[in-house]
Amino acid sequence: MSETLGMETQPVQVEGATDDANGQNNSNYGATSLGDEQRRVEVTEKRTMCTPWLFVGLGWLPISVGLSLALAIIVPYCIAVGLGHVSAGFPYISDTGTEPPESCIFGQLLNIASALAFATIYVRYKQVAEYYREVPEGVFKCNKAALVLGSLAALGMSLVANFQETNMIVFHVIGAMMCFGLGFIYGLLMSWISYKLSPQHCTVAMYRARLALSLVAMLCLVTTLLFGGLANSQWKGEDLRKWLPEDGGFGLHVASTVSEWIMAIAFLFYFFSYIKDFQKVELAAEVRRCQRLLNVTCDPNA
């Protein structure tokens, strides 16, 4: 089974006409075929107009990524604060997913978001690849690099979900650096591609918005690591997940955690920026009969 991405419907031109039963040129056939094609296009347009905006094309895919990410952040946070597992004053996102039951919800939703993010990254790669006649060759090398980095970032998100910081901190940190570090590089690459695709396939405002979100994510990653390291050097408390003002380094800690939350929100909105582009894309599965048949011969003497 192979998957093909169908882009926007192109006009179909019917050239010539077929001979009728008497061997004469029947010019009405071409006109009839063209009329049938126009009617099919009109029916498709009517169905698109009647389709809810959410389900036009693959626009639902980046929406699903954003919603699953939002739920993976908000729901565990509310549960963790309600059960007293973390302080309400801006803990790290990972701190809200370390204790059950919120850790189960955090891991499940983040795994779903990881799979949907990978699908979104792949669809965007295929979409850009359709423009090979209209853009420089360098765009496609950058597109392939973005696919690799984006896929690794999605894998990192899954590592964060499955390896909690209280259980296997090394794998958790590796996953977080893959997710956020490679994620903002992916954002920069796709922003540059959006610039190269403008104005035919991307508006100037959109690629500027994507670039701004990528730069915000990069800046927040730096401030998260910097302020987090300084805060940990001044901490004198007993529980890192319940950082109190009297524990030392509280201001730096809040600056670090707020930066992480802003970074996550920036990635969320970056996926949302794909909605309009994905509404022009359809995913079709083509099933073909296998040409190779397995011939089994029976040995009567066996």
Q: Rounded distance, CA 61 to CA 51, Å?
A: 16
Instruction: Kindly state the tokens that stand for 185.
Output: 């590089």
Q: Which residue has the higher pLDDT, 42 or 185?
A: 185
Backbone φ, ψ for residue 6 (5° rounding): -90, 125
Residue 68 near residue 114, CB atoms below 8 Å: no
Nearest CA to 157 among 120, 186, 198, 118? Answer: 118
Q: Classify residue 62 by burial, with Cβ atoms within 10 Å: 0-12, 13-18, 19+.
A: buried
Q: If you count DSSP H runs as helices and E runs as strands, how many of each does the chain have, helices first?
A: 8, 4
pTM of the predicted structure, to 2 decimals: 0.76
* Distance separating alpha carbons of residues 172 and 187, to the nearest angstrom: 22
Which pLDDT does position 11 carry in this prediction? 40
Among residues of the chain, what percentage have pLDDT more than 90?
Answer: 49
pLDDT tens digits, one per residue of 56-79: 788 899 999 999 999 999 999 999
pLDDT, tens digit (0-9, with 9 covering 90-100), for 217-275: 999 999 999 999 999 888 887 777 888 888 888 899 999 999 999 999 999 999 999 99
249 backbone φψ class: left, alpha, beta (φ>0; ψ -120 to 50)? left
